[in-house]
Amino acid sequence: MSNVLIFIAGLAALVAGAELLVRGASRMALSLGISPLVVGLTIVAMGTSAPEVAVSVGAAMGGQVDIAVGNVVGSNIFNVLFILGVSALIVPLVVDTQIIRQEVPIMIGASILLLSFGIDGTISNLDAGLLLLLLIVYTSYVVIQSRREGKAQRAKAESSAEPPPGRLWLQLLLIAAGLGLLVVGSGWLVDASTQFARALGVSDVIIGLTIVAAGTSMPEVATSITAAIRGERDIAIGNVVGSNIFNILGCLGLAGLVSGDGLPMAPSVLNFDLWVMIAVAFACLPVFIVGRTIARWEGALFLFYFVAYTAYLILAARDHDALDEYSGVMLGFVVPLTVVTLVVSLTRNARRHPAA
């Protein structure tokens, strides 16, 4: 009963925290004269990834490396398939050109880099240090790049009919309060859900890929959905893509440094889940490019694949007799059909908008 109450309290904290964070972040963008997209890619993304950092670093220090790596891989899959799927179902999301041309390729590059580092079965301390260095370089570049749009953004804010954004210290207070509630709420959710799973005898790898990954991604869920509802679509998408980049470069970078012998990668993660994460990152390109919008049907498609992936994990964990048949249907029919659908949509869009 206590776990149920903790779970409900965690959900309430997430909702309240997301509202405060989105409100503060959108007003800060106006105050500083930078785009909401940059705020979503940096401040919001890093803030909502705080639970992933805490869980992965804590797991690495405690010797639970399967949870440390599985949490990041599972969170990245969850972020794209579930969060963008649900957000697009609520309201179609317009994708900024910068996301398509810059951030998604960087997310794909970071995913492939993680594979190259872990292909030998371990993310070494040197690999972790390089990941952190790349995070610093990326964040600095995005902030410097946003300065170019600063004057135009500030002029737009001054000439608009919207009320003034308010004082910077108040916006920072809203962001800090929102992040605090998000971190606390996700922590309560993870604790309650993990207790339920362990009582059922679920392994640490599966817990990391599913419950912990979903639980630590609850700040991203609440923030992106709230941003989509409030019309801050750049924050909604930037939060997801930025969080995925930060999870790989920041979470695993820090976790790998605090772990004395690096981060060993479970064979199941290296041979399957990591490839799913890379495939999901690549899938963003055709979906984002078609119409420069994530339509509702594409959001539904993302959600379908998230359910299918979760079902596979459950069947694999139980070594169910239906696993081979299920895998055959997915690989032989569903995946090819989806690829054909995306290619046709992309081709039609190219013909309608040849200059796009």
pLDDT tens per residue across span 135-154: 999 988 887 877 666 555 55
Contact 235, 124 (CB under 8 A): no
Q: For residue 356, what pLDDT band results from cuts at 50, 70 and 90?
A: very low
What does DSSP assign to residue 263?
A: E
Q: Which of 73-87, 97-111, 131-145, 194-208 has the least mean pLDDT?
A: 194-208
Q: For residue 196, what pLDDT band results from cuts at 50, 70 and 90?
A: low
Instruction: Tokens for 217, please give them.
Output: 């991604």
CA distances from 96 to 57, 238, 261 (A): 33, 9, 41
Query: In terms of pLDDT, which residue wins out, 248 or 178?
Result: 248
Per-residue pLDDT, averaged over 62-83, amounts to 83
pLDDT at 163: 47
Element at 122 (helix H, strand E): strand 122-123
pLDDT at 1: 57
Query: In terms of pLDDT, which residue wins out, 151 or 266?
Result: 266
Query: In terms of pLDDT, which residue wins out, 131 or 346?
Result: 131
Q: Computed from CA positions of residues 91, 95, 282, 128, in that sequence, does the dihedral angle turn out positive or negative?
A: negative
Q: For residue 11, what pLDDT band results from cuts at 50, 70 and 90?
A: low
Q: Which fold has domain 36-145+201-352?
A: A middle domain of Talin 1 (1.20.1420)
Average pLDDT in the chain: 78
- 13: pLDDT strictly greater than 90: no
CA distances from 200 to 6, 251, 347 (A): 19, 28, 48
Note the pLDDT tens digit of each residue in 246-256.
999 999 999 88
pLDDT at 25: 74
Domain range annotation of the chain: 36-145+201-352
Contact 190, 55 (CB under 8 A): yes
pLDDT at 245: 94
Amino acid identity of 134? L
